[in-house]
Amino acid sequence: MKVAVIGTGYVGLVAGVCFADMGNRVVCVDTNAATVEKLRAGRSPIYEPGIEELLRRNIAAGRLTVTTQAREALDGTEAAFICVGTPPRDSDGEPDLSLVYGAAKDIANAMTGPLTVVVKSTVPVGTGDAVEEIIRRTRPDMSFSVASNPEFLREGSALADFQSPDRIVFGVEDAKAEETLRKLYLPLRATGAPQIVTRRRTSELIKYAANAFLATKISFINEMADLCEKVEGDVTELAAAVGLDSRIGGAFLRAGPGYGGSCFPKDTCALLHTAQEYGVPLRVVEGTVAANNARKHRMAQKVIEAAGGSVIGMKIAVLGLTFKPDTDDMRDAPSIPLIRHLQRAGAEIAAYDPQGLRQARDRLGNVAFHGDPYECAADADVVVLMTEWNELRSLDLGRLHRIMRTPVMVDLRNIYPPELARRFGFRLVNIGRPGPR
Ligand code: NAD
């Protein structure tokens, strides 16, 4: 099948290389000329394990090409995937759909024959209707369908998630769109992934409901951690026991500094906007968002308390900046409000991240960035563990202790067992775990 993918970010690039790897002829389109240049040279503009190998393999096999011109991609194409960003608007946090509508217009102007337009970007209920309207108005002469096919991949394991998904959702309004999507996803039938075929509006809502539920699990366990801290409980043991109930499941029950990234904060807010628009209160999701927002400042407060009540003039070393390991994505990372809060409180910030430094520099001012965790922690008064990168899970605690000015560790991911950190002489503050027995 000839497939066009509009937008080559975390979702579009993964979809593009994976569809190509399944044997399709894929043309990826991005309006960013520098991104296209990089991709053509076989280099990925984003950090995602394994992506460059797949990119190069499919370019070399002639199955994947990249262009800035929608016209090149749409010529004789059966399916066009919209994978552009839907960032929150600064004014009200609602998703900005202008890129989606822009992509719909580009597709409409460039299409040459019958086409299934598939919206893979995360979009509010009814966006598919608007996309359909744009294309119909622009090209009343053309026959086309608009489908929704939300993406559930996780950054850091995006290729495996795409190639072996928990489920595939097709939101369709006609038989042609369903047939096209079924044909395209046929190679994934072997993985046993269930295919849910539903109406377009349900499909759009499924993505938000899934993300809101996962965010709720995180906020829930984070609040349990707060309670554990007061009652001398241990949230890691609590979560393990609670998660063993098969009705609950252990995933997303790890207490930490709050959820972040380019999806959960934006998608929970977007869902609340939709609910408000339709006059349906979603109190659980409202609570989830409120708890997470409050948490950002609580975490900074935790660092200040660990430092003895004031961080004025202190050096705080933040290890890990991205919202999770194995990505370079810094969008809405909890490290950003934490660092800004500590800076306002008078701290000097040094920071280290294995992949996120480039994006972090664009978002954070007055931070001394380092390419090595020990360099970053040298002479620090407090070290804060923000992201559980593998290399931060196995720090040489003896060395860390020797190079710091005062051995205070705030472990916001509960990486280090309290006994171990204390054995190395650290004063440890963590999330929801008691002091020594
Ligand atoms: P991104 O910002 O990384 O990438 C979007 C790309 O689209 C950019 O490279 C941009 O230059 C390009 N673009 C914008 N307008 C264009 C146009 N008219 N034509 C061609 N290219 C255009 O975004 P992302 O993280 O890949 O997310 C895309 C969508 O998928 C969002 O709606 C997001 O919520 C959703 N999503 C993201 C993830 C994730 O983990 N990142 C997971 C599931 C769903």
What secondary structure does DSSP assign to 120-179, as a single string?
-S---TTHHHHHHHHHHHH-TT--EEEEE------TTSHHHHHHS-S-EEEE-SSHHHHH
**pLDDT score for 412:** 98
Q: Both 267 and 394 in a single domain?
A: yes
Ligand 1 center–CA 194 separation, angstroms: 25
Residue 312 has pLDDT above 60, yes or no: yes
Angle at 428 between CA 427 and CA 431, to 5 degrees: 160
Residue 238 covered by a domain: yes
Q: Which two tokens stand for residue 338?
A: 């934490």
155 lines ligand 1 (CB under 6 A): yes
Residue 223 covered by a domain: no
**pLDDT score for 93:** 87
Q: Both 168 and 279 in a single domain?
A: no
Q: Both 189 and 43 in a single domain?
A: yes
Q: Is the ipTM of this complex over 0.90?
A: yes
Helix (H) or strand (E) holding 29: strand 25-29
Q: Both 143 and 17 in a single domain?
A: yes
CA distance 94 to 84: 16
**pLDDT score for 294:** 96
pLDDT (tens digit, 9 = 90+) per residue, 155-204?
999 999 999 999 999 999 999 999 999 999 999 999 999 999 999 999 99
84 lines ligand 1 (CB under 6 A): yes
Residue 405 covered by a domain: yes
Q: Both 23 and 126 in a single domain?
A: yes
153 lines ligand 1 (CB under 6 A): yes
Q: Both 193 and 256 in a single domain?
A: no
CA distance 203 to 191: 21
pLDDT (tens digit, 9 = 90+) per residue, 110-141?
999 999 999 999 999 999 999 999 999 999 99
Ligand 1 center–CA 84 separation, angstroms: 3
Ligand 1 center–CA 191 separation, angstroms: 26
**For the domain that residue 263 is a member of, what is the CATH number?**
3.40.50.720
- Closest by CA position to 273, among listed 262, 264, 281: 281
Domain of 270, in residue numbers? 233-429
| Contact predicate 142/135, CB 8 Å | yes
Q: Number of structural domains, the chain? A: 2
DSSP conformational letter for 87? P
pLDDT band at residue 436 under the 50/70/90 scheme? low
Binding residues for substrate, by number, are 152-155, 207, 252-256, 260, 324
> What Cα–Cα distance (Å) separates residue 393 from each residue in 124, 340, 377, 414?
38, 25, 15, 10
Q: Both 127 and 51 in a single domain?
A: yes
Phi, psi of 66, rounded to the nearest 5 degrees: -135, 140
Q: Both 183 and 307 in a single domain?
A: no
- The preferred substitution site among 11, 26, 153 for testing ligand 1, maximizing ligand atoms within 8 Å of CB, is 11
DSSP conformational letter for 88? B
